[in-house]
Amino acid sequence: MPGNDSYGKKAFKRSRSHFTDRITADGRDGWPVEAGRYRLVVSKACPWASRALVVRRLLGLEDALSLAVTDPIQDDRSWRFTLDPDGRDPVLGIRYLSEAYDARETGYPGGVSVPAIVDVPSGKLVTNDYQQLTLDLETEWTALHRSGAPDLYPEPLRDEIDDVMDGIYRDVNNGVYRAGFASEQDAYEKAYGDVFTRLDTVAQRLAGQRYLVGDTITEADVRLFTTLVRFDAVYHGHFKCNRNKLAEDPVLWAYARDLFQTPGFGDTVDFDHIKRHYYQVHTGINPTRIVPLGPDPSGWLTPHDREKLGGRPFGDGTPPASR
């Protein structure tokens, strides 16, 4: 596995998920939905994993799908459980997530990524398919959803949701990484342009409606939020996406604060994990490993006034219980 100092020294290309088995209601891939059987492994630093944290909370799957949180600081063996006593996950009994990968496929040559779902009885990785994982939590795990769980992927709107998510994934979710890890000026400028062109398009869409698709929160909002919440803390400076800060865009800043203040979003965010991971792991970009003190997170709790656009955050459902 490449060391941390390799970030920013070669062209960035996001790997495809190698383990794409699905956990489904009918168990067609050999992994049936079953309360207590699986463990979700996340880093609170990772935007892809943070999607799963938000969805798990919104749907009330905390009791059905247990959670392991990795140290935000990776070493060259990737994600590790050094936040837990004795440096081992208390359920899986492993020190590194790579051990669950090895249990599934000996000698797997690819990277070790989060989010990942591990089968507790066997200790084997089931999936690291970050694009499909949350969709399956929303559509295949419905028997285990809490009463009042929102429909985050409503069938009548799926084509529109998929279309919106595709552009956001390509130009924003992935675009900030293409800019931040660019090793040549032209590649950086192309990615930078893609990021802000898409953000401008999204801001125009959100100027007249509270959420991206329809009048309720959907998977599309979850996917955009996890990038926006990291923007000023990480992507603006560390990844050189500095045309403007999120806090300087009146529409996107209000939209992001609206979601942050919605149960299930802001209460899953850990700015300390986010900043320490990016600034201390990406030594190819930030060789001093100095973590900036700002920005002040208190702005996330200021009034956003998005309620005037209407919308029903949870549709016919209810917010998750406070914690």
Question: Could you read off the pLDDT of 56-98 as tens digits, one per residue?
Answer: 999 999 999 999 999 999 998 899 999 999 999 999 999 999 9
Strand arrangement of the beta sheet that strand 124-127 belongs to = 66-69, 38-42, 116-119, 124-127
In this prediction, residue 110 has a pLDDT band, given cuts at 50, 70 and 90, of confident
Phi and psi, residue 211, nearest 5°? -125, 165
- The identity of residue 128, as a single letter, is N
Q: Known catalytic residues?
A: 46, 177
pLDDT reading at 265 higher than 70: yes
Q: How confident is the model at residue 15 (pLDDT cuts 50, 70, 90)?
A: low
Residues in the chain: 323
Say if residues 226 and 51 touch (Cβ distance below 8 Å).
yes
Q: What local confidence, expressed as pLDDT, does residue 322 receive?
A: 83
Reply yes or no on whether the pLDDT at 134 is more than 70: yes
CB burial of 91-110 (b: ≥16 within 10 Å; e: otherwise) equals: ebebbbbbbbbbbbeeeeee
Contact call for residues 323 and 43 (beta carbons, < 8 A): no
**pLDDT tens for each residue of 141-195:** 999 999 999 999 999 999 999 999 999 999 999 999 999 999 999 999 999 999 9
CB 153 within 8 A of CB 139: yes
Q: How much is the pLDDT for 10?
A: 55
Could you give the 3-state DSSP secondary structure of residue 127? Answer: strand
Q: Which amino acid is at 239?
A: F
pLDDT digit string (tens) for 27-46?
A: 999 999 999 999 999 999 99
The pLDDT assigned to 109 comes to 81
Tokens 């990795």: give the residue: 70
97/83 Cα distance (integer angstroms): 13
Please give the C-alpha separations between residue 230 and each of 132, 193, 236, in angstroms, as whole numbers: 22, 18, 9
- Rounded CA separation 51/21 (Å): 19
Question: Is the distance from CB of 227 to CB of 235 less than 8 angstroms?
Answer: yes
CA-CA-CA-CA dihedral for 187, 193, 199, 201, to nearest 10: -130
Residue 224 reports pLDDT greater than 70: yes
What crossing angle do the helices spanning 130-139 and 47-59 adopt, rounded to 10°? 0
Tokens found for residue 289: 């490993």
pLDDT at 108 over 50: yes
pLDDT band of 4, cuts 50, 70, 90 = low
- For residues 115-142, give the mean pLDDT: 98
Please name the residues in contact with 108: beta carbons below 8 A apart, sequence gap of 6 or more. Answer: 18, 101, 102
Q: What are the tokens at 194?
A: 């893609």
Half-sphere exposure of 238 (CA within 13 A, CB side): 30
Quick: pLDDT tens for 266-319.
999 999 999 999 999 999 999 999 999 999 999 999 999 999 999 999 999 999
Question: Tokens 């991206």 — which residue?
Answer: 212
Classified as helix, coil or strand, 181 is coil
Residues 197-221: tens digit of each pLDDT: 999 999 999 999 999 999 999 999 9
Alpha carbon distance 23, 135 (integer Å): 11
pLDDT at position 1? 39
